[in-house]
Structure 1
Amino acid sequence: MLKKYLLVALICSAFCSAAQPLTFKFDFGPGKAAKGYQKVDTNTIFSRERGFGFLPGASLKGIDRKGKDALRGDFISGDGAFYFSVVLPQGNYEVTAILGDRQGSSSATIRVENRRLMAGQVNTANGQVMSVNFTAHIRTPLIQGTQDKVRLKPRELAYLHWDDQLTIEFNGKDAKVCGLEIRPASPAIPVVFLAGNSTVVDQAEEPYAAWGQMIPAFFQPGKIAVANYAESGETLKAFRAEKRLDKILSQMKKGDYLFIEFAHNDQKPGGNHLDPFTTYKEMLKYYISEARKKGGIPVLVTSMHRRNFDENNKIINTLGDYPEAVRQTGKEEGVPVIDLNAMSKVLYEAWGPEASLKAFVHYPANTFPGQTQKLEDNTHFTPYGAYELARCVAEGIKSTVPDLAEYLKKDLPSFNPSAPDPYPAWYWPLSARISALKPDGN
């Protein structure tokens, strides 16, 4: 069924995108729709024919506070996460979410596609309604200008980020959505493409997460788009063979960025193995060369450590010579290197063996539905751990990629990996998609 649905989506994307509307204005709630807006109530369930609507499964309620402002006078909220999806062609979009309650308060977290963070906890005071802006990238497997497409893994067919839809997740203690506006982003804005493995990917399901799905929230909306093409289990060699790199290059323009982070799987024996100082460096240089041919700006990222402490609570290097090979390649090719490997060592040792358990996927059995065995994963991260690593990456951008750093949010605080954010202060409402299945590449 999923394969059939994906085929329909691909056909529509290839042949019907020219007829699709690109700009939408939605008025959420049971009241009369504001002028120029399409009405969305709790019965507006997504269908291909309609082209937008709520995904099934959420418990929704609509409230009308009346008043002269039709757009801000009513809203829709849900019991936990709820998802609104719109059929759109591949591209970058500016989105404005109008949140709040004329007679109450609200608290919302906004994510898109596979739990990609757009806005953290957004609180509105009693009677306040505010707008939150963000920039989202959507894609399909088709490689424009060719008959090729990305070779997806079976588990990817159910993901929310390989279809011709922008799916927005509203979550939080009391998310109240009054309206939603979607319009194409300027084709001139730079795009940051991410190529990597499970430590970078937009992890589809709780309790897993990676830094690549957190970093979009660190950038100014409307100034730049983040396009995360990382996938679990990938190596430099497999990423290229599966045409994931071709997919990125088909969209890249002058001034775009390509972040490259691989090592965890490249070091393993098998057909995709690469030796650090020979074939691994050669493949890194191929990615760099191909990006530069398109006018892109390559950025290398050394892979973070695994959670592996010695008897003195110091991190043991399990990645061999691969991080050093990345550093050498950066020097040889004149490419900036974000040394996430070095920063992660400082970060993990600041946590120590016990506190670091909160950053990695360690949970007793039956913490999540269907999870009958305990989870003990020293490679993959919880949302908290992923966010802290994203803060490291942001610091790396500031120090090594100053032109890109101009697009980071102006109020983004500095981060010292030796002083991580306290876990009790972390807030992440769980998405509806939960699985005990470990990502590829563990």
Structure 2
Amino acid sequence: MKTILSLSACCVLASTLATAQPTLPKTNLKFDFGSGKTEKGYMQVLPTTQYTKEAGYGFTKEAQVSAVDRGGKDALKSDFITSDKPFYFTVDVPEGNYDVKVTLGDKAGESTTTVRAESRRLMLDEVVTKTGQLETRSFTVNVRYPQIDAQEKVRLKSRELAYLNWDNQLTLEFNGPSPKVCAVEITRNDKATTVFLAGNSTVVDQDREPWAAWGQMIPRFFKPGNVAIANHAESGEALKSFVSERRLAKILSLMKPGDYLFIEFAHNDQKRGSAYVEPFTTYKEQLKLYISEARKRGGIPVLVTSMHRRNFDSTGHINNTLGDYPEAVRQTGAEEKVAVIDLNAMSKTLYEAWGPEQSIKAFVHYPANSFPGQTQELKDNTHFSTYGAYEIARCMMEGIKANVPDLAKHLMSDIAPFNPAQPDPIAAWHWPLSPMITALRPDGN
């Protein structure tokens, strides 16, 4: 069997991983949003509180927000920040996992707020409060830095330099028809189980509308405080490039016993070129490298077969464009006694339930001028719309329930069972657009 990594590459990887990460200080930051009284122990956030490096927190410069003060004795809940446009609040924090508690609502009005973190990770989906009702919700967010140690860092692509995932900050996006934010509290969480995601454009936190992937949807499904999703996937990646760009090394440098590594590749690995691997030989060997390295650190590897492309035959059934790669994953899972989530099989059922016409809504198919600056039609049968990504994420939740029971214990109790043969209706899907939009197709196909 052909060796995938050169001896020198293996030595570099081993050297990189040998350097321990420093212990970072705990962080507990409290922000009282609004122009009224400030709650004791909290920092006041006004509409004019723009982010500066000196302060270390604030709204991004694009934010168009206003403050409302309803008066009363409860300083934390009597006032809030709101806007008729999405807005971002960002805070400098050390690398790690954080519990975020937000207080939403209005003593004299209704509110509807969707909360996303970093690059459009879905954390809270449409929190609706009635007049006089206030809701406190929590979620757990992973923050990562490019640095691995004093000498090494992830080899970021030029486009990644603008990602909110790599900027040494925790950024929250407040969105919806009437978002009303009373308070935000951020607390470091060193005990949460981290689920690391290694994959390509079908997994990554797609940072711009109208693109999306399942990795940025699944944080919404986990109980706060217990699990943090660390999505290290990137568009265009294959198993070999993920190693050479130090992305796997970065994950392994952070992994602690009991953490998970979800591995989903194939779309780019099957293409002839420097990243190409044969399905039943070098592809399996690469998968086993990931499995072995995770296990050395007490991590729990989980294999995920890649979802199909939207490619129908004349009878309305899905053509297999991924060859033997999904079967190679299944075989590797059996050989290594690793859980396998068969997203390939579930996606076939899902797509065929939609059919050739309805499935278009699940992918990035939009006529010209659907979005600002989009002068040409978008027609992509690999990458998902937000609706499609959410449905794939629901498939992933069923896969976790069936194959990773210890992790499934941490799923939210309000998740209804999902049958890929009966997808959620597109008419019921609502996703307020994030302000960052692009017509540029992600790498990979």
Scaled by the length of structure 1, the TM-score of the pair is 0.95
Q: Does structure 2 conserve the Cα–Cα contact (< 8 Å) formed by 1:58 and 1:79? A: no
Q: Match for residue 17 of structure 2?
A: none
- Matching residue within 36, 39, 44 for 2:41: 36
Who is 1:180 aligned against? 184
Counterpart pick for 1:118 among 118, 123, 132: 123
Residue 23 of structure 1: CA displacement?
1.3
Distance 2:269 2:212 in 1: 21
Question: 2:83 maps to what in 1?
Answer: 78
Provide the C-alpha distance between the structure 2 equivalents of 1:382 and 1:417, rounded to a whole number of angstroms.
17
Asked if the contact 1:210–1:386 (Cα under 8 Å) also holds between the matched residues in 2, the reply is yes
Give the Cα–Cα distance (whole angstroms) in 2 for the partners of residues 434 and 217 of structure 1: 22
Q: Which deviations, in whole Å up to 9, do the C-alpha atoms of 1:40-95 show, x marking residues without a partner? A: 01000011111000001122111000011111000001122100000000000000
Aligned to 2:54: 49
Q: 2: CA distance between counterparts of 1:228 and 1:333?
A: 24
Quote the residue 1:257 is aligned against.
260
Alignment of 1:133-172 (within 5 A): 133-144=138-149, 146-172=150-176
Quick one: distance in 1 between partners of 2:439 and 2:137? 33
Name 1:287's counterpart in structure 2. Answer: 290
How far is 1:130 from its partner? 1.1
Contact map agreement 1:20 1:88 (CA 8 A) in 2: no
**Which runs of structure 2 are paired with 1:77-116 in the superposition (5 Å)?**
77-116=82-121
Structure 1 distance, partners of 2:233, 2:285, is 20
Query: C-alpha separation between the residues in 2 aligned to 1:52 and 1:302?
Result: 40
Shift of 1:18: 8.8
Which among 308, 333, 351 is matched to residue 354 of structure 2? Answer: 351
* Cα distance change on mapping 1:252 and 1:220 into 2, 3 Å: same
Q: Is the 8 A contact 2:255 2:299 kept in 1?
A: yes
Match in the other structure for 1:402: 405
Could you report, residue by residue, the CA deviation over 1:149-169 in whole angstroms, capped at 9, with x for unpaired residues?
Answer: 000000000000101100000
Q: How many angstroms apart in 1 are the aligned matches of 2:401 and 2:266?
A: 23
State how 1:310-389 maps to structure 2 within 5 Å: 310-389=313-392
Shift in Å at residue 375 of structure 1? 0.1
Identical aligned residues as a percent: 64
C-alpha RMSD of matched pairs (Å): 1.1
Q: Does 1:216 align with 2:203?
A: no
2:240 alignment counterpart = 237
CA contact (8 A) 2:341 2:396 kept: yes
Distance 1:394 1:299 in 2: 13
Report the AA paired with residue 49 of structure 1: E
Equivalent residue in structure 2 for 1:247, among 250, 254, 258? 250
CA distance in 2, matches of 1:197, 1:103: 46
> Which stretches in structure 2 are left out of the alignment for 5+ residues?
1-21
Structure 1: gaps of 5 or more residues: 1-16
Match for residue 201 of structure 1?
A: 204
Counterpart of 2:8 in structure 1 is: none
Match of 1:278 in 2: 281
Name whichever of 58-67 and 289-298 sits farther off. Answer: 58-67
- 1:173 maps to a residue whose letter is P
On the 8 A contact 1:201/1:211 being kept in 2, the answer is: yes
The amino acid across from 2:441 in the alignment is K
d(CA) in 2 for partners of 1:20, 1:431? 32
* Structure-2 separation of matches of 1:122 and 1:168: 15
SS in 2 for 1:161: helix
Q: Which amino acid aligns with 1:29?
A: G
Conserved? CA contact 1:94–1:182, under 8 Å: yes
Please give the secondary structure, in 2, of the residue aligned with 1:276.
Answer: coil
Q: Given residue 110 of structure 2, which amino acid in structure 1 is its aligned partner?
A: S
**Mapped contact 2:26–2:188 kept (Cα < 8 A):** no
Shift of 1:30: 1.0
Q: CA shift at 1:410, angstroms? A: 1.6
Deviation beyond 4 Å, 4+ runs, structure 1: 17-21
- C-alpha distance in structure 2 between counterparts of 1:306 and 1:344, whole Å: 9
SS of aligned partner of 1:277: coil
Number of residues of Structure 1 aligned to a counterpart in Structure 2: 424
Contact preservation (8 Å) 2:195, 2:227: yes
Cα deviation code 1:312-351 (max 9, x no counterpart): 0100000000000000000000000000000000000000
Counterpart CA distance in 1 for 2:427 and 2:142 is 32
TM-score after normalising by structure 2? 0.94
Q: Secondary structure at the match of 1:300?
A: strand
Tell me how far apart the structure 1 counterparts of residues 62 and 237 of structure 2 sit (CA, whole Å). Answer: 32
Q: Distance in 2 between matches of 1:70 and 1:403?
A: 41
CA distance in 2, matches of 1:300, 1:201: 16
| Aligned equivalent of 1:269, options 266, 269, 272 | 272
1:21·1:88 contact (CA, 8 Å) conserved in 2? no
Deviation at 1:131, TM superposition (A): 0.4
1:60 corresponds in structure 2 to 65
- CA-CA distance at 1:19 after TM superposition: 9.6
Q: Deviations over 1:297-322 (max 9, x none)?
A: 00000000000001001000000000
For 2:325, give the aligned amino acid: Y
Match of 1:303 in 2: 306
Q: Distance in 1 between matches of 2:285 and 2:293?
A: 12
Shift in Å, 1:173: 1.0
